[in-house]
Structure 1
Amino acid sequence: MNNAALIRPGWTPATIALMIIGFMLFWPLGFAMLAYILWGDRLEGFKQDVNRKTDSFCGAFRRNKRSAHFGRAPFGTGNAAFDEWRDKELERLEEERRKLDEMRAEFEDYANELRRAKDREEFDRFMAERNAVSKKPSGTVPDVNEDQQ
């Protein structure tokens, strides 16, 4: 995925144009775009929090639903051996899903750290260039030999 997306949170020409068009067409669209520009970088964390809370909320219903059938899984087949095997497989799959979710979260943290390091490097480079320009006296005459090299 390209990190230099055209429509990303921030004051880019594309987002400003979309905000203006949104206000012209239907004012709530303009406000929605303004909110995205201002707080869009927080959406990833918000989505992750909502997904995590929704999964835990729905998981509680699934656990309670199984216990409500007096030891039998819902929609049981009547074959105890098959129902036990299915329950064990479902538990194994849930454990795999938890592991995958943990790995995904670790990767997202890693990718965020890489983005943060890249941003820090770009900012440091900008500040170094800015400081180098500001240290150079503005009233000096450039050396002719420097231009010919």
Structure 2
Amino acid sequence: MPRTAPTGGPTQALADALTAEYAAIWAYGVIGVHLADAARRSARAAEAAHRARRDALILQLSANGGQVPADRAGYALPYPVTDRASALRLAVEIEERAAGHWRAALPHTTGADRNRALAALTDCALRATRWRRTAGVTPVTVAFPGRPG
């Protein structure tokens, strides 16, 4: 799963965020199969949110003539996901990582791009909080979402 800071400029920052969105979508495919009922519905909603951001970023980068990074066939998970507990732990981690990419995009963006990056950071932070609560992790919130720990 990607976890690097953008190397420069708004286009690169948004391309890096797109790569994080690709990874999040892929991860939710693994997460969802280990959850049931409300948690599975939450995973589907999270995946849909990441798909919507991915699609918007692809359109934006394409329209601006930027390089659109390709999605990979798969991503390496940070640990095996074999049950509900590890799926919830991955859900928290994937949201934190995506938040980190959006946070890293903030200093490289202005105007509407900055607003979109801030909205994405906020969405990821809220989902991470919900996943922590579902997993019974405390504290359920972090002081600075997306900040490297």
Q: Same fold (TM over 0.5)?
A: no
Q: Which has the higher helix share?
A: 1
- What TM-score comes out, normalization by structure 1 length? 0.31
Higher Cα radius of gyration: 1
**So what's the TM-score if we normalise by structure 2?**
0.31
Q: Which has the higher contact order (CA 8 A, sep 6+)?
A: 2
